[in-house]
Amino acid sequence: MTNDKMTGVILGSIVTAVVIAGNVRRADPHGVSTYPDVVSVAIAPLVVYVVGRRRRLGGESSEAVQAFGARVGAIAGAVFRCRSWSLHGVLANVVAVAALGV
């Protein structure tokens, strides 16, 4: 279970980094998007699928793999929401200050 928690934290951090990179790449001074591109939406389900599939081929039961997906998805989602809200708040303030020319 600890490994599942760490996987969720790492996955949430990766999604957060991808979203930040997507917003920086877009360079839109008037808005910060939670999901700026398709990659940021697709990365979490893809990683959970690949890791779950490897576990299933490794001999784990279907129920264990489903429980893994639910745990990792919930933890990754919580990490992403917490980090993205705080970072988007900072980015929004930076964009507002830059727009005001202060």
101, pLDDT greater than 70: no
Q: How confident is the model at residue 24 (pLDDT cuts 50, 70, 90)?
A: confident
Domain range for 52 is: 2-100
Q: How confident is the model at residue 63 (pLDDT cuts 50, 70, 90)?
A: very high
What is the pLDDT averaged over residues 77-98? 72
CA nearest to 3, candidates 75, 78, 53: 75
End-to-end CA distance of the chain: 49
| More confident of the two residues 89 and 4 | 4
What is the pLDDT averaged over residues 52-68? 92
Domain count, the chain: 1
Which pTM was predicted? 0.70
Which residues 6+ apart lie within 8 Å of 64 measured at CB? 55
